[in-house]
Chain A
Amino acid sequence: MTGTALDAATTELLAGSLRELLASVSAGGELGPALDALGWAEVLADDPATATTLLFTEHGRALVSSRALDDVLLAELDPALPPAAGSRALLYPHPAEGADPAPLDGPLWGVLLGPLHGVDEVVVPATAEGRTVLVTVAATDLAAAGGPATGFDLGSTWHTVAGPRPPGSGPPAPEAWTRAVAAGRRALAAEMIGVCESALTLATAHTTDRVQYGRPIASFQAVRHRLAEAYVAVTAARAVLDAAWTAAGGADGGGWAAAAAKLQAGRAQAQVMRHAVQVCGAMGLSQESELHRHVTRAAALDALLGGHMALAESAGAALLAGADVHPVVEL
């Protein structure tokens, strides 16, 4: 299944190409054709861990909003679905429900990562009799129920969907959904890490340039230590994500480890953004700097497929209920 692992030099080269590609994509634009031109499918097949982490880290760093994540989850869901009638998008469970799809006998409730231009059908996971089923709905049937998200992250192309559920049924696919959630969480962790790295770079540059009391504010211990803590948080998140990829071949698609990776990245973004906003002073909370866009994007990414509070709560509850104290990492 895996081909040749990407070496460091190739990875660096690819990162450069991705940065160029992502800088040129318009908000809500399609990444697919540009990635195809880059031969991305081949890179992904060769080394899914490095390729996915690279793509989503750069995606986060560039603050791009696209439906790239759909491809990650749909790759796991497609085998459980009838053949696609055209191009597909995915309706994510509403963040208020974590990664649990809404009940099939209730109304539609969820999030799309972009408008449905050019999309033919939408895969809508739902819960029926305690299991996840995958309902396929015509994009036109969904359009009326959705509108642009108007919350914290104004730079995103996300749409919230709420309304009556169009008729439709689909196969039960709990295992495929579990694997899709795991894959999605790994990609989201990488994306949050990218946003954090970029925010840390901004904060480092600002505090190095900004002079008060006759010296750069990054020469004050209180500022230096906040930035050091932010660095530790991102580094830890990256390490757990690496471990989650090692576990990805496991029976449940490495679900437990993927949840740990998203939890760690979610905690990292909370810490990094708290410190970065503080050390950037008024720049951090105004539109004078790009920092605020990192804050809101990281918060939105954290909320999707289970936020860090919910993931900590569920891991702790599982452990208290007697679950194996999973080591996640092996040497």
Chain B
Amino acid sequence: MSAQVRPAVGASGLATDLNAYRQALRAYLGAEPRLDRWRGARYTTTEERIRGHGMLMGALHRDGWNRYGWPEAAGGLAGDERHRAVLYEELSAAGLPVPEPVLMLETLGPPLVRFAPYLAAELLPAYLRGEEWWGQGFSEPEAGSDLAALRCRARRDGDSYVLSGQKLWTSHGATARRLMCLVRTGSPESRHRGLTMVLVDADAPGVSVRPVALASGRNELAEVFFDDARVPASRLVGAEGEGWAVAMYLLQFERAMFAWLSATVALRRLRELRDMLTARDGHRLPDGSARRVGECYADLVALRARSAQTVRRLAAGEAVGPEASVDKVLLATAETGLHDLARDLLGAEFVLGGPPEVEEWRADWWYSRASTIMGGSAEVQRTILADHVLNLPKERGA
């Protein structure tokens, strides 16, 4: 922790003065030569990328920057959600990636801090250092959109829970050190009442993980099998039977913080796409391109504007609740729109080949299709808004 490379860090003012944090961070990101290796870095596999990005977290952590916005008891330097949001914004503006592990950190960190502060104190520091990252075990083969139908069981046995069942479509699952899983502790018919959240080590006996490749060939997802895997009762996140409440708390962050984070990355990607397209000699863009670019940009601005409001509400300790589905719908619109734009404007290169940066757009295109599926499908989000925000008459049988 050499003082000369990070004169501003540790200055207590940064935790309470968001603008001072922003300015100091911007100066650091612009001047720190050690960060250059992550600018424009390309990886051929998901595993390589997440490890590379873990090292970026390590670099940011060494100089303190990614510790703001997390409580001191959990290895942070205090501040609130806006500090984290500013970090993602400034990384993207500086042409750096938002480290992949952060995606799940934003989803899993807040519920851990809220419902299991002792676990956050023990385990979050290593996550912040980029030494490990976690997956989220929600979906199952028979429980996707209908999450409350999940069947993966946890049976209390002394000081432990014994897990049996399966999780599917776990992002970062193939390399995750731990998995935050929603499991059934109640009767099979107990729906959302009989659920419990638990943090499982991926290398515990009885846990096996199989990577699942996207259509791009990249192992973005995984399936996880629990064969009488034993988890200490101290690894519960929230009380037994409180899993649904923990999940709902978690989803506010998954829908809103993740939306802001994705918006910062998407704006960088739009800039990179524009630069790539306009740098080509004699390449004529198809008619209508300007309007497509303008529409895509408008979608990104809408996502930024809305998710910034939500981040401010979360930072003020407000419960965002079902309104977070607006952020999620805007996120999915922006993500699919941006990648469809890239696909259409890259044209033949997208379909037939082209330089490595085009390959990245192809892989990302498939991942962008997940934006209307994961964390509650596009249809689920609209139903939440219809039920809980517009208060429309319920669907029959729902």
Looking at A106-114, A135-143, A215-223, the stretch in contact with chain B turns out to be: A215-223
Chain A 221-250 residues near chain B, CB threshold 8 A: 221, 224-225, 227-229, 231-232, 235-237, 239-240, 242-243
In the complex, A286 has a CB within 8 A of chain B: no
Q: Given contacts A229-B382, A236-B305, are A316 and B390 in contact (CB under 8 A)?
A: no
Q: Are A231 and B305 in contact (CB under 8 A)?
A: no
Looking at B31-39, B194-202, B211-219, B296-304, the stretch in contact with chain A turns out to be: B296-304
Q: Are A312 and B392 in contact (CB under 8 A)?
A: no
Question: Quick one: which of A220, A235, A242, A263 contacts B395, CB cutoff 8 A?
Answer: A220
Chain B 275-333 residues near chain A, CB threshold 8 A: 277-278, 285, 289-295, 297-298, 301-306, 308-309, 311-312, 326, 329-330
In the complex, B383 has a CB within 8 A of chain A: yes
Q: Mark A306-330, 1 if CB is under 8 A from B, else 0.
A: 0001011111110110100101111
**What residues of chain A lie closer than 8 Å to B93, measured between beta carbons?**
327
Give the docked Cα–Cα distance between A228 and B309 (Å): 19
Q: Are B312 and A204 in contact (CB under 8 A)?
A: no
Q: Mark B378-396, 1 if CB is under 8 A from A, else 0.
A: 0101110110011011111
Question: Quick one: which of A231, A242, A243, A331 contacts B311, CB cutoff 8 A?
Answer: A331
Q: Are A312 and B383 in contact (CB under 8 A)?
A: no
Q: Are B294 and A325 in contact (CB under 8 A)?
A: no
Q: Are B311 and A325 in contact (CB under 8 A)?
A: no
**What residues of chain B lie closer than 8 Å to A311, measured between beta carbons?**
294
In the complex, B335 has a CB within 8 A of chain A: no
**What residues of chain B lie closer than 8 Å to A126, measured between beta carbons?**
none
- Nearest Cβ on chain A to B174's Cβ, whole angstroms: 33
Q: Are B304 and A328 in contact (CB under 8 A)?
A: yes
Interface size on B, residues (CB 8 A): 48
Q: Are A315 and B294 in contact (CB under 8 A)?
A: yes
**What residues of chain A lie closer than 8 Å to B82, measured between beta carbons?**
331
B345 closest partner in A (C-beta): A320
Q: Are B392 and A218 in contact (CB under 8 A)?
A: yes
Looking at B127-135, B266-274, B365-373, the stretch in contact with chain A turns out to be: B266-274
**What residues of chain B lie closer than 8 Å to A315, measured between beta carbons?**
293-294, 297-298
**What residues of chain A lie closer than 8 Å to B112, measured between beta carbons?**
none
Q: Are A218 and B393 in contact (CB under 8 A)?
A: yes
Give the docked Cα–Cα distance between A82 and B215 (Å): 67
For chain B, what secondary structure do more than half of its interface residues adopt (helix, strand, loop), or is it mixed?
helix
**What residues of chain A lie closer than 8 Å to B394, measured between beta carbons?**
219
Interface, chain B (partner A; CB < 8 A):
18, 82, 85-86, 89, 93, 267, 270-271, 274, 277-278, 285, 289-295, 297-298, 301-306, 308-309, 311-312, 326, 329-330, 379, 381-383, 385-386, 389-390, 392-396
- Nearest Cβ on chain B to A24's Cβ, whole angstroms: 30
Q: Given contacts A322-B278, A331-B311, are A239 and B291 in contact (CB under 8 A)?
A: no
Q: Are B301 and A329 in contact (CB under 8 A)?
A: yes
Give the docked Cα–Cα distance between A331 and B313 (Å): 12
Question: Quick one: which of A221, A236, A313 contacts B291, CB cutoff 8 A?
Answer: A313
Most buried by B among A215, A227, A329: A329
Q: Given contacts A219-B395, A236-B330, A313-B294, are A329 and B274 in contact (CB under 8 A)?
A: no
Most buried by A among B270, B305, B381: B305
Q: Are A224 and B301 in contact (CB under 8 A)?
A: no
Q: Given contacts A219-B395, A325-B271, are A231 and B294 in contact (CB under 8 A)?
A: no
**What residues of chain A lie closer than 8 Å to B382, measured between beta carbons?**
224-225, 228-229
**What residues of chain A lie closer than 8 Å to B329, measured between beta carbons?**
228-229, 232
Given A225-B386, A325-B270, 13 more contacts at CB 8 Å? A207-B392, A208-B392, A219-B393, A227-B386, A228-B382, A228-B385, A239-B305, A243-B301, A313-B294, A314-B290, A314-B294, A316-B293, A329-B305
Q: Are A243 and B270 in contact (CB under 8 A)?
A: no
**What residues of chain A lie closer than 8 Å to B306, measured between beta carbons?**
235-236, 239
Q: Are B294 and A317 in contact (CB under 8 A)?
A: yes
**What residues of chain B lie closer than 8 Å to A231, measured between beta carbons?**
326, 385, 389-390
Q: Are A316 and B294 in contact (CB under 8 A)?
A: yes
Q: Are A225 and B301 in contact (CB under 8 A)?
A: no
Q: Are B305 and A243 in contact (CB under 8 A)?
A: yes
Q: Are A260 and B301 in contact (CB under 8 A)?
A: yes
Give the docked Cα–Cα distance between A329 and B393 (Å): 36
**What residues of chain A lie closer than 8 Å to B89, measured between beta carbons?**
327, 331
In the complex, A65 has a CB within 8 A of chain B: no
Most buried by B among A215, A228, A229: A228
**What residues of chain B lie closer than 8 Å to A312, measured between beta carbons?**
291, 294-295, 298
Give the docked Cα–Cα distance between A320 and B280 (Å): 12
Give the docked Cα–Cα distance between A181 and B331 (Å): 30
- Nearest Cβ on chain A to B396's Cβ, whole angstroms: 6
